[in-house]
Structure 1
Amino acid sequence: MRIGIDFGTSYTAAAAYVDGVVRHISFRGYSQFRTAVFMPEKPVDTTLFDDTAYDQTVASNQASASIAHSKAMEKYEEAASKIRVYYRTLARDGDLTEEAAREQISLALSALKKPVSPSPEAIRKATLAAAKRDWVQQQLDQGRTSSVSIDDSAVFGEEAIEEFFSYEAGRLIQSPKSMLGFKLGAPQREAVLQIVSNVLRHIRRAASDQLGVEVTEAIIGRPVLFRSSMGPEGSDQAVRLLEEAAARAGFKFVDFLHEPAAAAITYHAQSRDANRTLVVDVGGGTTDITIGLVGGQAEIPNLEKTWGLAKGGTDVDLGLSLRTVMPLFGKDQCNLLAPVYVNAAMVSDLNRQRDFRVTRLVGVPAPFQKRLLTLQRNGVTVRLNRDVEMLKVALSTDAEAGISLDYIESGLQANATKSDLERGYESFLRSFDELLSCVSQETAHSKPTVVFLTGGMSRAPYIEETVNRHFPTGQLVRGDASLGVVSGLAIHAARSL
């Protein structure tokens, strides 16, 4: 059996094409999982943890959070009222025009962060995470560790991030795909191989169990350009590392297919009519585009050219983090230089993460020093990055949003507005705009009649707006943002046997 694997920067999925139907592999009930892995040094059988024993504590914390939010809202409304009264008084006395007063009120209110209450589910998760951490430490102190190997005890997805906080020691890594194209020393290379092979082994075992056959072959999606510090050589290295990791994971055969080509196969299988189609795949770490004749009676799409950009949703996360979260750790308010905060926010760069963890914090004032010391613990930056991503997603639809940073400091919260998101994504959008401009010029002689949009970041309204601006005459077709690539990989895998 040969399967397709979309090994993504942010999320990973797998599927098989069986009897003319794409069967997505399920991971804890979901068709994809966050590309994160946690490997504890001393595994504990966490299935013995009884979360129902903490129902009363959860209810108490939810009630306390509701009271705290009500008090914060009272202070916010009081401050907002004073702002309105002040500028309206100036307008009434003739010191400002009515229009100028309204503008000043709007500016002042936008600078006044409105308290955002964490959801009851978020409070429940945080409460149980703290309780589980205490329970695991108790098991470790009493020597009740599991006898399974480290590989078998690896935890993946969202659970990996939560599980990290239950242990004192272990390795938590997110987005290992983004590390493959960077210069790696021998220890780092081995660490990356171990992480990636664990992820691929996890996929292979899940696929074998669900398909009822031993899965040992795969087609793995790859971007046109990997994120890299070494130019084209970085992409070559990334492929070699994936091949080696797959072999360690038990795969006897692997091959690779460009991710936009896989997305084109997905749309080809769905489209009765052949159209000149532009496929735009905007993922977490990379952005890929291809063009060609897609759909109709031909067995496969006829693709002509591909373009790649080694940037994606994680770059938006970085911009948003630097603007709205890192000031809570002293950015622009203490003696640490800006690169320190960039290092902290770039969880996919092992070298930057190492540099951040060894940064000396002498002379950093309170409360920033204590917060930074917590952030320097292995894995904490990964959880912070996950929460920034959640903030980004919320701001794509809401005018304002907030995330709780209780694991850094009790009561600490990061709030942001849509304008913060706009400033956070402006650097990525500039690069994306330049890429689309290049594609538009190179396809000017024969414009696409269809634009197929896929990838996790394709959900963001500003992505669709930018695509429409460059290709206004193309019919926009929204593919499955999460599974558009893996479905095509599965079809290609079956047909390449």
Structure 2
Amino acid sequence: MHSSYLGIDFGTSNCTAGRLSQSAQPELLALEAGSAYLSSALYLPWPDSYDIEDDSQKKPSLAQLLRQPQMALLGQAAHDRYSTDPLGGIFIRSPKSMLGSRLNPLQTQLYQQVCGLMLSHIHQCADQSSQQHAEFAVIGRPVHFQGIDGADGDARAETLLRAAAASAGFREVQFAYEPVAAAVEYERTLTSEQLVLVVDIGGGTSDISLIRLGPSRAHQADRSADLLSHAGRRLGGVDMDIKLAIYGLMPLLGRGSLAQNGKPLPSALFSDAVNIIDIYAQEQFYQSATAKEISKLLEIAAAPAQVALLQTLYQQHLSYYLVQQAEQAKISLATAAQVQVNLDRLQPSLGTVLDNAMLDHALYVEMNSLRGLISDCLAAAGVIPDQIFLTGGASAASGVKRQLQQLLPDVPLIAGDRFGSVGKGLCTLAALHFA
């Protein structure tokens, strides 16, 4: 078995990559600081020639910054730099979330370059770990990237990722459904044939698959005959974080408050501020036109002190900070009834308490959509699974288990490796394709 292949989980929140060891065990590579997980984040600092305090200077565009890819910081280094210097560049998180969208040619090029930077880092780590050039890869993909244009959107996403992988040095790329990869990893633990409902809720997408698994099937590269049904859409942990930020934290910044005439303030800016999924939207939010819009809100607001915090968020580039606090609250609420959220970077002693009732309110639409996906998958297969296998970083949300228990109360629920199952399964599938 040669080692010039990789299985790559190019995730919305984190990436993993690996191959099978000599003993045929999935082995994830160290992608940063000894960790197998590379946070899907980049930080592109302003060039030395740009002075943010000089209003006469035009702010460099994302396209201009990407012309110097050697300056980019990835993963935890990007998070650390953003935390200490949010005004010193552009912070990008979760580029996968927009793949498959209706991007114009410039946006397509930008996302391709961003994805290429991350895949280049993964490729370099693989080469260093084995001292052998990694030429081939199986990259995981959701059932549907966006769902806007169905198969056409999925084809656009695959085309973009293929081009990004080629720029990173991969000669041939295959794609595999992420829930099938998770199922292949779970299959390693089975001693008999089972019908398994795989519920994979990652950072950007929710994928539901009903698949036949068992030891006699484990060496097949093509599992399409075993995949009885699947359903998916762009609905994941980052979407949940944004919704919790909007409903749970943005009221502190004036969302839902009134204008002096007694009418609610326009809400669009409050949502735009935390739309971290869309790189282009974030770039637009931090243009000078937004400062003028916030100033108008301050003039008409009945509680201008709250809206002033939105102005602080804009001035200090704290969009990701706010969503990060929402994310930590969501994680804590998986095991606690309520959690204190502190927003000291916006204002000393600013904070609020979030509880599961607020989480359920914020995620009402998302949980209903998830219930619909599960129901659609079960209806298409026409059978009840023997087991439910739960994976993906956002699968720990309490509402997820509640939906499954309501729909399938008598089916055992098994929690897998939330962050590693897909990547490990892709190692196996890559070996079957390329080894």
Question: 1:247 Cα deviation (Å)?
Answer: 1.3
Instruction: Provide the residue aligned with 1:347 in structure 2.
Output: 276
* 1:197 Cα deviation after fit: 0.9
Say if 2:401 is the partner of 1:476.
Answer: no
Query: Which is further off, 347-356 or 446-455?
Result: 347-356
Aligned pair in 2 of structure 1 residues 307, 36: CA closer, same or farther (>3 Å)?
same
Listed one character per residue, the Cα deviations across residues 216-251 of structure 1 (whole Å, up to 9, x for unaligned) are 321110001112544432221111111111111122
Cα distance, 1:381 vs. partner?
Answer: 1.3
Residues 378 and 231 of structure 1: is their aligned pair in 2 closer, same or farther, counting only changes over 3 Å? farther
Over 3 Å counting, the alpha-carbon distance change for 1:220 and 1:377 in structure 2 is farther
Change in CA separation of 1:278 and 1:160 when aligned onto 2, cut-off 3 Å: same
User: CA shift at 1:316, angstroms?
Assistant: 1.8
2:294 is equivalent to residue 356 of structure 1: no
Question: Per the alignment, in what secondary structure is the counterpart of residue 295 of structure 2?
Answer: coil
- State whether structure 2 residue 15 is matched by structure 1 residue 22: no
Structure possessing the higher radius of gyration over alpha carbons: 1
In the other structure, the counterpart of 1:267 is 186
1:281 Cα offset (Å) = 0.8
Q: Take 1:410 and 1:292, find their aligned partners in 2: how far apart are those partners?
A: 51
Q: What is the TM-score with the length of structure 1 in the denominator?
A: 0.74
- What does 1:218-297 correspond to in 2, within 5 Å? 218-227=137-146, 229-297=148-216
3-state SS of the aligned residue for 2:215?
Answer: coil
The counterpart of 2:128, out of the listed 191, 204, 209, is: 209
Q: Which residue pairs with 1:155 in the alignment? A: 73
Residue 166 to residue 477, structure 1, CA distance change in 2 (3 Å): closer
* Other structure's SS at 1:226 match: coil
- Report the alpha carbon displacement of residue 315 of structure 1 after superposing the two structures with TM: 2.5
Matched, 1:372 2:290: no
Q: How many residues align?
A: 391
**Pairing of 1:328-347 with structure 2 (within 5 A):** 328-335=252-259, 336-347=265-276
- Whether the 8 Å CA contact 2:389–2:415 is kept in 1: the answer is yes
**Residue type of the alignment partner of 1:312:** G
Counterpart of 1:158 in structure 2: which amino acid? Q
Counterpart amino acid of residue 474 in structure 1: V
5+ long unaligned stretches in structure 1: 44-148
5 Å matches for 1:78-157?
150-157=68-75
Distance in structure 2 (CA, Å) of the matches to 1:214 and 1:307 = 36
Q: How far apart, CA to CA, are the structure 1 residues paired with 2:80 and 2:428?
A: 34
Identity %: 30
Query: Judging changes above 3 Å, is the alpha-carbon distance between structure 1 residues 478 and 193 closer, same or farther for their aligned structure 2 residues?
Result: same
Q: Which one of 378, 392, 398 corresponds to residue 461 of structure 1?
A: 398
CA 412–282 in structure 1, closer or farther in 2 if over 3 Å, else same? same
Residues 304-453 of structure 1 mapped to structure 2, 5 A cutoff? 304-335=228-259, 336-357=265-286, 358-359=289-290, 360-365=293-298, 366-376=304-314, 380-444=318-382, 446-453=383-390
Higher helix fraction (1 or 2): 1
Verify the 8 A CA contact 2:179 2:200 in the aligned structure 1: yes
Instruction: Show structure 2 runs of 5+ residues with no match.
Output: 49-66, 260-264, 299-303
Quick one: distance in 1 between partners of 2:164 and 2:249? 35
CA gap of 1:263–1:379, structure 2 versus 1, over 3 A, is farther
Q: Tell me how far 1:265 sits from its aligned partner.
A: 1.0
Question: Do the aligned partners of 1:36 and 1:172 also contact (CA within 8 Å) in 2?
Answer: yes
